[in-house]
Structure 1
Amino acid sequence: MNKGIYLLLLLLLASSCISNRRITYFQNLPGNEPIGLEEFIPYAEVEYEYILQPFDIVDIDFATSDEELTKAFEFQGSRSMRGGMAGGRGGMGGGDIFYFTGYTIDKDGFVDIPKLGKIEIAGISEESARLKVQREINEFFQEEVFVRLRTGGIRYTTLGEFSSVGTQLIMRNRATIFDALANAGEANILAKKNQLFIIRQYDGGTKIHQINLNDRRLLASPYYFIQPNDILYLEPMRIRQVGTGDNLVQSLQLGATLVTMFIFFYGLTQGLF
């Protein structure tokens, strides 16, 4: 009986521990060409360039020597509102100011700019949209007006086994999948890091992509960089579904509890108690 109990305890501990290979980033996985340390890894051939979509919010600034002319393109008080929120934050996240001061692309792909009217910018890159607005304003005014157009940071959503779930914001124009993980407080130890799903929006629809965070070759993947409006979803391991502890102490406690229960019920059936 003692040997059976020891064997059961070992099986429980083995099943409740998580292999380092399932939680370690940047591994050289079997079946792939190994990538050595300090080896140069070029980015994927797919060029990273975000395409503006309906319901995106863009920040458009105008600069000219004539301050009165610049004010003609602003919504009333938007510049002062932006300065106040940037300084005091108003209890909101740093990127929320764009919701109040930026231009929302409508469902048909247009932004409505004072004096210029509606301009279609969905379906093109930020730089192409900036040049398009620049051409429109050059036709409207003889005096040179400089245009700056950009998205309000990278907003994305985390679901599943993240330390922090919900809408996240990175105030940069480009961010990697690991920037997104760090910004969301890392993935839980019980997450399937080899099966991270990226739900990405495209012109006219959505695609689901799957990447392996454990694989060093991810650095050369076209999904190494996240895009605005991405949804990142991490499933839990099967070990989570049976309520197993996520560290050695919890695993030992769980194993001891199960063994104690087994001995108790075995003793009852054998009339030992």
Structure 2
Amino acid sequence: MLRTILIILSLGLLLSSCIPKKELTYFQGEPSANKEMYKILNEPYKLQVNDILDIKIKANDETLVALFNQSVSQNIGNAGQVNADQFYLSGYTIDRHGNIRIPYIGELNVLGYTEKEVREKMESELAKYFKDLDDVFITVKLAGIRFTVLGEVSRPGAIVLFQNQVNIVEAIASAGDIAITGDRKRVTIVRKQIDGTKKIRLDLTDINVFSSDDYYIQSNDVIYIEPLKQKSWGTGTTGVQTFTTIVSVLSFVTTTILLAKTL
């Protein structure tokens, strides 16, 4: 009787602790009708506190604008490579009041502005120093998209990607993909906005994630991958691991029973 109970319990544990293929496969199903496969991010990003801007001011005569420049591009030299540390040291960081400090111009409030709006504001300020802005060219770009990936991924941590846009798939791939114990159906994005904090849930096993309004992440997003319940059970994530655990438990139980009978 005891042997039968142990066998039934072992089989139940084996079946319930293995992670089915359906839980691990990305982008299942077919795209819904009348939906774009890849959604284009139309709404421009609005700058937030701690964002870093790369601002370049150019002119035919560079000496005219040299005093206004603090761009990281001035410090790259012949290396031709830019990293997040360089932007942190030489870019324009938005402080807690929403301001950046431009040489000779002073503080500019850019909180909630788009890149285009900051450029237009810069042009307005420079008009005070130049009679003709036709020869002055200004570019304003977000110095990389910064985000954090936590939970069941291979390489959790803070990441910076130097792209205009980053989608959720690229963000997770940059963290080494979701581990086998990660729940692909419950990917959480925590987004701090000017008017508060927003919590977003995405299902990466569904093909229609590509048409989600939140397919593209934003700077300073926190992405969290929840663990599957199989991890908390501690019995293993594959059939082999679970079988090994069950054999060990059965051996321990059997040995305990035999010792108890001999006493």
What TM-score do the two structures reach when normalised by structure 1? 0.86
User: Deviations for 1:33-85, whole angstroms, at most 9, x for unmatched residues?
Assistant: x4279x852527x734210012211010011011211211124x955423367
Cα 1:203–1:85 change in 2 (3 A) is farther
Give the Cα separation in 2 of the matches to 1:42 and 1:179.
13
Shift of 1:136: 1.9
Tell me, in whole angstroms, the C-alpha distance in 1 between the residues paired with 2:213 and 2:54.
27
Is the partner of 2:169 in helix, strand or coil? helix
2:66 is the alignment partner of 1:66: no
Q: Indicate if the aligned counterparts of 1:16 and 1:251 stay in contact, CA closer than 8 A.
A: yes
Q: Which residue of 2 aligns with 1:133?
A: 122
Matched with 1:242 is: 233
Assess if the C-alpha contact under 8 Å between 2:58 and 2:137 holds in 1.
yes
User: Which residue identity lines up with residue 126 of structure 2 in the other structure?
Assistant: I
Structure 2 residue ranges without an equivalent (≥5): none
Task: State the partner residue of 2:102.
Answer: 113
Name the SS of the counterpart of 2:8 in structure 1. Answer: helix
- Residues 205 and 96 (structure 1 numbering): CA distance in 2 closer, same or farther, change over 3 Å? same
1:131-166: per-residue Cα shift (whole Å, max 9, x none)? 221222133212431101111111100111111111
Give distance in 2, aligned partners of 1:193 and 1:78.
Answer: 38
Task: Tell whether the 8 Å contact from 2:39 to 2:210 is kept in structure 1 after alignment.
Answer: yes
Task: Give me the CA root mean square deviation.
Answer: 2.4
1:81 aligns with 2:75: yes
Q: Report the 3-state secondary structure (helix = DSSP H, G, I; strand = E; otherwise coil) of the residue aligned with 2:165.
A: coil
In the superposition, relative to structure 1, how do residues 106 and 4 fare at CA in structure 2: closer, same or farther (>3 Å)? closer
Q: Does 1:124 pair with 2:113?
A: yes
Letter in 1 for 2:49: P
Report whether the alignment pairs 1:256 with 2:250: no
Counterparts of 1:163-174 in structure 2, within 5 Å, are 163-174=154-165
**Structure 2 SS opposite 1:135:** helix
Which string of whole-angstrom CA distances, capped at 9 and with x for unpartnered residues, describes residues 194-233 of structure 1? Answer: 1111110111321111111111111111110011000001
Shift of 1:239: 1.5
Measure, in 2, the Cα distance between the counterparts of 1:232 and 1:183: 12
- Who is 1:201 aligned against? 192
Question: Structure 2: how far apart are the matches of 1:265 and 1:166?
Answer: 45
Indicate the SS of the match to 2:65.
helix
| Residues in 1 aligned to 2:251 and 2:15: alpha-carbon distance in whole angstroms | 17
Runs of 4+ in 1 over 6 A off after TM superposition: none
| Deviates further, 135-144 or 206-215 | 135-144
Could you say which residue in structure 2 is the equivalent of 1:51?
Answer: 46
- What whole-Å deviation, never above 9, does each CA across 1:216-255 have from its counterpart, x for those lacking one? 1111111100110000011212221121212232222112
Structure 1 alignment gaps of length 5 or more = 29-33
Counterpart of 1:184 in structure 2 is 175
Q: CA 1:172–1:79 in 2, change beyond 3 Å: closer, same or farther?
A: closer
Change over 3 Å in CA distance of 1:79–1:238 after alignment to 2: closer
Shift of 1:122: 1.4
CA-CA distance at 1:7 after TM superposition: 2.6
Give the counterpart of 1:225 among 209, 216, 233.
Answer: 216
Q: Distance in 2 between matches of 1:50 and 1:262?
A: 60
The residue type paired with residue 69 of structure 1 is: L
Counterpart of 2:9 in structure 1 is: 8
Query: Aligned in 2, Cα 1:96/1:84: closer, same or farther, shift over 3 Å?
Result: farther
SS of 2:235 mapped into structure 1: coil
TM-score, length-scaled by structure 2 = 0.89
